[in-house]
Structures are given as structure tokens and as C-alpha cells.
Amino acid sequence: MNYRYVLCAAVVASTAAISNADVAGLIQTNSYYKSDGNTASDLSSAAYAVVDLFLDFSKQGTDGYPVEDAFLLNMYGVNVTARGFTEFHQSDFTPDGSWIPSLSLPLDSPQTNIDSFVTIGTPDPAGSPNVTSLDPNFNSGANADIFGSNIGWYAPPTGEQGGVNDSLQVWIGRFTVTGEEARQGANFTLTGTAGYYYGPGTGPFSTDTGGTFSFIPAPGLLAAFGLGGLLSPRSRRR
């Protein structure tokens, strides 16, 4: 089961210093899977809970270029803080997990559904190599390196990766915890700066963005799917 919603400044996400930016903020989607990583689930019985983060370029016209041409170059100065868990779940080619997306299994693999990695957009066409690389501050990209100081990741400005999708969004990462951690209220804060342009001869531009992201959907969605009891004081751990 997949939930998608915009995190607004009044709730849990904010975008700072965007007076001259087309970036509206960050959008998250929530997905839940059984232990095989392939079978969709709801939160109450999920083995894994997944948050995908997207940079939203729908604040049209403030940079003076068509937002359809927006192209994410890098995320930098990123800091991540976890609450209710100690590490993100990873399931890739490496023994201990890596944040480098090229070490993930193909996107259509069940294990990739429950992997954690960073990315600059989605490779196009599907199946193309993900060329996202890590800044030196990200060290080797081992599991715990996501909690380093002022980390970053980037991709070369090619037509195959980094452009906005049909919803004017660019995928920046997948973050996974266990279902039990999610049910106990696990969440994380991510803040940083996005660098982008609109093609050769434009920019580059930058804007600060960030938010706090829960593995439990927004309360209205929980009620709609009959999951409101998961937010009771007895079942949450902070």
C-alpha cells in the first residue's frame, strides 16, 4: 500500500530561503511490504516501511525559466537525524549495505523496494545505470555514513537523469525501517540544500529545504484506512 502527500510548513516539513526558487518543498510517499519485499502490505502487518522523498518544483515561475526544464544537480550540506531507530534497513549487493544507488539491485527487484539509498532522479530509460555519486563528506557510503555531517550526493548533468518527472518532482532518496520501528513512531529529519539549473547557460540555483518524515501516514490517511489506533499513546514510542 502506498500513500502520497505533501509535507507543508505548517505540519512537518519546511522549505527555507526560496524567495527566488521554483522549489516548493519536499514530498514523501509511504509504502509497506511483507518480508519478501514484494508483497504490498498495510502498516499494521508490514515487515518493512519505506519513505521515498521527492524535491517538488511546482512553485512555478520564480526563477524565470519553465519549471518543466528544471534539473536537479546535487544535494549538499545534508544532515539526517533518526528518532525511534538506530539505522536504516539496506538490501543491496554489499554485505553491510551502501547508500550508493548503483550498488542496489535493479529497480524492479523486490529487494530494491526495501533498500535504502540516495539518488538524483530516476534513470531514464528504465534499466539505465544510476550515475549518482557521493560527496567526500559521505565517506564510503556505508550504512552509518548517512548520519555524517553535511553529506551530499550528485549526478552529472545529463539528459538521462535529474530532470523533473510529469509531476514536476525529482526523486532524492529511499529510506527504509522495519515495520515494528514504524509502528512505534520512527521518523527522521533531513535538512540540506538543493542545487539545480534549467540547462546550459542558466544558474546554477540553490535553495535550502528539509523536513521531518514519518513512517506513519498523515492522520487523515490513517483514519481512512482504519489505522488510527496505531497513534494511541500506548502504541507510540518517542
What does the alpha-carbon distance between residue 187 and residue 177 come to, in Å, rounded to a whole number? 9
- Residue-number span of the structural domain to which 195 is assigned: 2-235
What is the residue type of 9? Answer: A
At residue 10, the pLDDT reads 24
At residue 233, the pLDDT reads 29
Q: Which of 205, 125, 212 is nearest to 160 (CA)?
A: 125
Q: Does position 45 have pLDDT exceeding 90, yes or no?
A: yes
32 in Cβ contact with 46 (< 8 Å): yes
Work out the number of other CB atoms within 10 angstroms of the CB of residue 17: 12
pTM for this prediction: 0.83
What is the residue type of 166? Answer: D
Give the mean model confidence (pLDDT) for residues 166-191. Answer: 97
How many domains are there within the chain?
Answer: 1
φ, ψ (nearest 5 deg) of residue 38: -115, -35
Q: Give the CA radius of gyration of the chain.
A: 17
pLDDT digits (tens, 9 = 90+) for 91-117: 988 888 999 998 876 666 778 899 999
Three-state DSSP state, 48: strand
1 in Cβ contact with 113 (< 8 Å): no
